[in-house]
Amino acid sequence: MAPYVPPQKRSGDDNGTGEERARGAPQQQAPSQDARFSNSGDVRYAARGPVGRSDGWFGRQDGRRPDHFDTMSEVEVFGERKEKTGGGIDFDQYDKIPVEVTGEGNELFKPISTFPEFKLSAALQWNLDRCGYERPTPVQKHAIPIVVGGRDLMACAQTGSGKTCAFMVPCIEALLRSGPPAEVKGRGRPPPMPCALVLAPTRELAAQIHEESLKFAYNTGIQSRLIYGGADIREQLRELGKGTDILVATPGRLSDFIGRETVDMGLTQFLILDEADRMLDMGFEPQVREIVQYSGMGRSLEKGRKKQNMMFSATFGGTVQSMAGDFMVDYLFITVGRVGSCSETITQTLLYAEEGKGKTRALEKIYRDHAPPVGQLTVIFVETKKRADEIEVDLWQAGLRVCAIHGDRDQRQREIALEAFKSGENPILVATDVAARGLDISNVGLVINYDMPKQMDDYVHRIGRTGRAGKRGVAIGFVNERCRYCNELAELLKGAKQEVPGWLHTLAAENRSNYENSKGKGKATGKGGYGPSFGGQDVRQLAKAAEEKAKPVVPKEPERPKSPPRAIPDGWDDDSD
C-alpha cells in the first residue's frame, strides 16, 4: 500500500522531496514550455486583444490604470481551439425538459432558439462561437431576453444547465448596448466602481465564474476582476485599479473592501447572486443585506439606467424566495425541469450503512464496484473537515488516487487539489458541502454521499454534480438513522423513476419521534415540502392560489323553475281582425 502523502506535496513541487515521491506520491507530468515564450514569440503581444483602443468600454474614464503587458491572449483566455460541443450538453435530452416562466408580463419575452437570432453584439457572439456554444440551454433561452429586456429575474435550474452563461451573457450584452457610464467628477483618483456585481458563496465558485466571464468579455473592453477571502488584499487592490467593470466576489471580502472604501458600488447596474439560496440560507444573509441595502449600490446611476437583480440556483425553497423578494423588484421566475424530482439522467442508489469503521471499508468496495469509466471523475461528500481528511488518508493508503478540499485547507492547497482532480491525475475528490458548492466540473460520473446532508436541498445540489445537462451519471448514498427526510427522499426517488428500497419507509417510521423533536432542523417540510413543490415553484403563484381558495363561496341564487308548456286549444286564433 502506498503511504499517505500530504496533498501539497503530491504535485512534485519544491515542497516534495525525491524520497517522498519515490514512496508512491502520484507524479505530475513535467509542465510544457510556457506558451507565452514559445519559439513563435510571446503570444501576449502576438495574439492578444487590441491595445490602445479608446472606443466604447475600452475608453471608460474611471481613473483606471490598465497594464497592457498583462493583457491575456486568445489562447490564454479560451485555451486551444476544440470542436464545438454545445458546452457538453446533450440537447436531444435537454430540450425535452419543460420550462415554466411566471410573473406579470412574462408573455412579453419570447424564448430564443439560437444565439444569433437575438442579434448579440459582434464581439460577444464571436466569444460564444469561440467557446463552442451552438444552441442555448433552456434557462439561457428564457433568461437572456428577460434580462436584456430590463426585468429582474429569479431562475431555478439544475446544476450544469448553463446558469453562468444565462446571467453573464445578458449582463455583458446590456452593458455593451448602454455603453460605459460617464466619468465621475471629483478630487483625486476615484476608487474602482464596478457596473456589475456577481456574489458567490465560495472562493472556488467565484473563481470559476470569473474564468467564464473573461471568455464572454474578451475583446469587448469590459474588464472582469475577482476578489475573495484568503488571498493577498494588496494584490487584489492592484488588480481592481487596472479597471473593474464586472466584479466577482465572495460576500466577506467585498464587505471588507466596502468598509475600507476601496471599492464604490454607486454605479452598479447589475446585482447577480449565484447559488443564491445557499448564500442566504447558510449564514451569508447579513453580509448580503449589508452589501445590497447599505453600500449605496446604484446610487450614482445616470438617468435612464436602473439597477437589475438576478438570482440563480438549483433550488429555491419558499422561505428563501420570500427573503430574496426583499432584493427583487417585480421579478420573473423561471423554473427548468419537472418540479418535484431530480434529473432522470442520474441513477440513484441508497444503501443502509451504520456509522463506524465498517462504513469506511464499505466505501472503498462501493467505489471499486461502481467506478466510472476512465476519463470520468468521482466526488465523495462528507459532513466534516476531519472526516474529509480521514477518508482521504484511508483511500490513499488503499492505493486510490484521491485528494480533498475543505475550509481548513489554505487557498494554494485547494487549488492544487482541484487542478489534480480536474486533470484526472487524482480522479477522486473528497469534499465538504461548502468547499464544493457550485463547482462546474462537467465529467463527473459518480457521486457518493458518504454522509447524507442535513437538508434535501443539499442532497439535490450534491448529486447534481453528475448527470449534468442530459448526460448519464450515478449517485450513491449511505443512509442510516441520522437521515431525517427519508419519506421525502422516497418521494424524490419515485418522482425520478428510481428504485425505492423497502427499508427506507421503515427507517422513517422508526425515527418519526426523532423528526418531531428535531425543532425543524433538517426537515424538508420547513422548505415547503418535496413533492410537487420541490425546488422551484414561484411562491407568489402559490400565494395567489391559496388566496383564491380562501375566498368565501357566494351561493348562487336558485334558478327559477321553468313554466310548464301551455296547451293551446285547437280552435284558438291569434289573428286580430
pLDDT in tens, 148-163: 999 999 998 876 778 8
pLDDT score of 218 more than 90? yes
Q: 557-563 long-range contacts, Cβ below 8 Å, gap at least 24?
A: none
Higher pLDDT, 68 or 18: 68
* 346-512: CATH superfamily: P-loop containing nucleotide triphosphate hydrolases (3.40.50.300)
- The pLDDT tens digits for 250-308 are 999 999 999 999 999 999 999 999 987 778 766 788 899 899 989 999 999 988 888 99
Q: Please state which of the ranges 5-9, 134-138, 317-321, 426-430 shows the lowest mean pLDDT.
A: 5-9
Higher pLDDT, 471 or 521: 471
pTM more than 0.85 = no
Q: What is the pLDDT of residue 89?
A: 54
Q: What is the pLDDT of residue 67?
A: 65
Nearest to 477 by CA among 453, 499, 455, 457: 453
Q: Please report the beta strands in 466-565, taking only residues with DSSP state E, as ranges in sequence order.
A: 473-479
Q: Please state which of the ranges 34-48, 408-422, 481-495, 505-519 shows the lowest mean pLDDT.
A: 34-48
Higher pLDDT, 169 or 36: 169
Distance CA 561, CA 5 (A): 92
Q: What is the pLDDT of residue 28?
A: 36
Q: Please state which of the ranges 68-82, 158-172, 229-243, 400-414 shows the lowest mean pLDDT.
A: 68-82
Task: Report the share of the chain in percent with pLDDT over 70.
Answer: 76
Higher pLDDT, 13 or 488: 488
Average pLDDT score over the chain: 80
Mean pLDDT, range 207-214, rounded to an integer: 94
Q: Please state which of the ranges 169-183, 265-279, 311-325, 533-547 shows the lowest mean pLDDT.
A: 533-547
pLDDT score of 528 more than 50? no
Mean pLDDT, range 312-322, rounded to an integer: 78
Of the ranges 51-65, 222-236, 328-342, 411-425, the best mean pLDDT one: 222-236
pLDDT score of 523 more than 50? no
Mean pLDDT, range 529-550, rounded to an integer: 63
Bridge-based pairing state of the strands 270-274 and 196-199? parallel
Contact 419, 204 (CB under 8 A): no
pLDDT score of 374 more than 50? yes
Mean pLDDT, range 333-341, rounded to an integer: 66
Distance CA 262, CA 190 (A): 9
Distance CA 364, CA 86 (A): 35
Q: What is the pLDDT of residue 143?
A: 96
Q: Please state which of the ranges 352-356, 512-516, 540-544 shows the lowest mean pLDDT.
A: 512-516
Q: What is the pLDDT of residue 572?
A: 57
**Close Cβ partners of 304 (under 8 Å, ≥ 6 residues apart):** none
Q: What is the pLDDT of residue 16?
A: 41
For residue 529, CA distances in Å to 45, 69, 319, 515 come to: 57, 54, 11, 14
Distance CA 466, CA 175 (A): 34
Mean pLDDT, range 19-29, rounded to an integer: 36
For the chain, how big is the Rg over CA atoms in Å? 28
Categorize the per-residue pLDDT at 83 as very low, low, confident or very high, splitting at 50, 70 and 90: low
Higher pLDDT, 324 or 212: 212
The number of helix segments (H) and strand segments (E) in the chain equals 22, 14
pLDDT score of 316 more than 60? yes
In 186-250, where does DSSP find H-type helix?
A: 203-216, 233-241
pLDDT score of 379 more than 50? yes
- The pLDDT tens digits for 457-469 are 788 878 878 876 5
Categorize the per-residue pLDDT at 25 as very low, low, confident or very high, splitting at 50, 70 and 90: very low
Q: What is the pLDDT of residue 258?
A: 95
Nearest to 276 by CA among 268, 267, 285, 263: 285
Q: What is the pLDDT of residue 574?
A: 57
Q: What is the pLDDT of residue 369?
A: 94
Bridge-based pairing state of the strands 377-382 and 428-432? parallel
Q: What is the pLDDT of residue 90?
A: 58
pLDDT score of 522 more than 50? no
**All cell numbers assigned to 184:** 465621475
Tell the CATH topology of 48-336: Rossmann fold (3.40.50)
Distance CA 474, CA 466 (A): 7
Q: Please state which of the ranges 177-191, 229-243, 536-550 shows the lowest mean pLDDT.
A: 536-550
Q: What is the pLDDT of residue 246?
A: 97
Bridge-based pairing state of the strands 99-102 and 332-336? antiparallel
Work out the number of other CB atoms within 10 angstroms of the CB of residue 63: 16
pLDDT score of 234 more than 50? yes
Q: What is the pLDDT of residue 323?
A: 74
CATH 3.40.50.300 in the chain, residue ranges: 48-336, 346-512
